[in-house]
């Protein structure tokens, strides 16, 4: 069975600072990994995904994530935070042949002016 | 806009009642997924349909049922509603039945009073 742990339910950074949202996964088979963003009162939007190609994945809005098998991690980063990045971020895991996404508990990102 | 539509946006009902949530997938997508997002349980997979057939089941209660129609829209039926069923219900769609990017609708917020 797969599982995801997101370290930190709330992260607060200043505008222009580095954003780092942590995600660790557990999977007995090679995982597929996703980051989704949820803005207030909206659905989930895909930021980026890893499906066993390049370990450094670039997504939308300047976000990227690196798959590290040895650390079972898939942390999300953005070099410079913008006020519009304030949202809830979800890491999710799936596997080849699986039908469902297993989500972490989410991290609420706050950007301070 | 993901291309997945859900109706209604909000639903307020009383305990013991029955409601139907509707989802239209993106054009060309054959697979539909239902997820529940609540404060205590987070985002949980409920059920998946592919081209009219049930494909996978998650933590879906016996009081809940779903189906996918020939035009590929899906309905989630929730009956004998309890206070704890209050949540955001998301529908997602993908082209294929396995390990594909899932595109999420805006959700239906259900409040049970």
pLDDT of residue B14: 97
CB B69 within 8 A of CB B61: no
Per-residue model confidence as pLDDT tens digits over A79-101: 999 999 999 999 999 876 777 89
- Interstrand relation of B10-13 and B108-112 (parallel, antiparallel or unpaired): parallel
Per-residue model confidence as pLDDT tens digits over A21-60: 999 999 888 889 999 999 988 889 999 999 877 889 999 9
Residues 6+ apart with CB under 8 A from B40: none
- To 10 degrees, the CA torsion angle through A9, A2, A101, A45? 40
Per-residue model confidence as pLDDT tens digits over B82-91: 999 999 999 9
Question: Is B105 an interface residue toward A (CB < 8 Å)?
Answer: yes
Of A44, A97, A103, the CB nearest to B98: A97
Does the pLDDT value for residue B99 go beyond 70?
no
Calpha distance B61→A89 (Å, rounded): 27
Per-residue model confidence as pLDDT tens digits over B41-76: 899 999 999 999 999 999 899 999 999 999 999 999
Per-residue model confidence as pLDDT tens digits over B22-44: 999 999 999 999 999 998 889 99
The residue of chain B with its CA nearest to that of A95 is B99
**pLDDT category of residue A9 using cuts at 50, 70 and 90:** very high
Identify the bridge partners of residue A76 per DSSP, sorted by sequence position: A21, A65
- Note whether A100 contacts B99, CB cutoff 8 Å: no
Which residues of A fall within a CB distance of 8 Å from B56?
A: 99-100
Identify the bridge partners of residue B22 per DSSP, sorted by sequence position: B7, B75
Of A44, A90, A96, the CB nearest to B99: A96
- Note whether A106 contacts B43, CB cutoff 8 Å: yes
**pLDDT category of residue A2 using cuts at 50, 70 and 90:** confident
């Amino acid at each position: 069975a797969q599982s995801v742990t997101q370290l930190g339910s709330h992260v607060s950074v200043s505008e222009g600072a580095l954003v780092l949202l942590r995600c660790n996964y557990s999977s007995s088979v090679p995982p597929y990994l996703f980051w989704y963003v949820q803005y207030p009162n909206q659905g989930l939007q895909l930021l980026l995904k890893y499906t066993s190609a390049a370990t450094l994945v670039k997504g939308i809005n300047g976000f990227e994530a690196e798959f590290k098998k040895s650390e079972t991690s898939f942390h999300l980063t953005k070099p410079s935070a913008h006020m519009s990045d304030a949202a809830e971020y979800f890491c999710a895991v799936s596997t080849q042949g699986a039908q469902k996404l297993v989500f972490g508990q989410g991290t609420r990102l706050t950007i301070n002016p | 806009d993901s291309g997945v539509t859900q109706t209604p946006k909000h639903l307020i009902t009383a305990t013991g009642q029955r409601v139907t949530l509707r989802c239209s997938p993106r054009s060309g997508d054959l697979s539909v997924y239902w997820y529940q997002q609540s404060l205590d349980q987070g985002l949980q997979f409920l059920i998946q349909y592919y081209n009219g057939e049930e494909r996978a089941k998650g933590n879906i209660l016996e009081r809940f049922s779903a189906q996918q129609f020939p035009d590929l829209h899906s309905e989630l039926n929730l009956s004998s509603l309890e206070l704890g069923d209050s949540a955001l219900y998301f529908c997602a769609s993908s082209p294929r039945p396995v390990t594909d990017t899932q595109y999420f609708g805006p959700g239906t917020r259900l409040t049970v009073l």
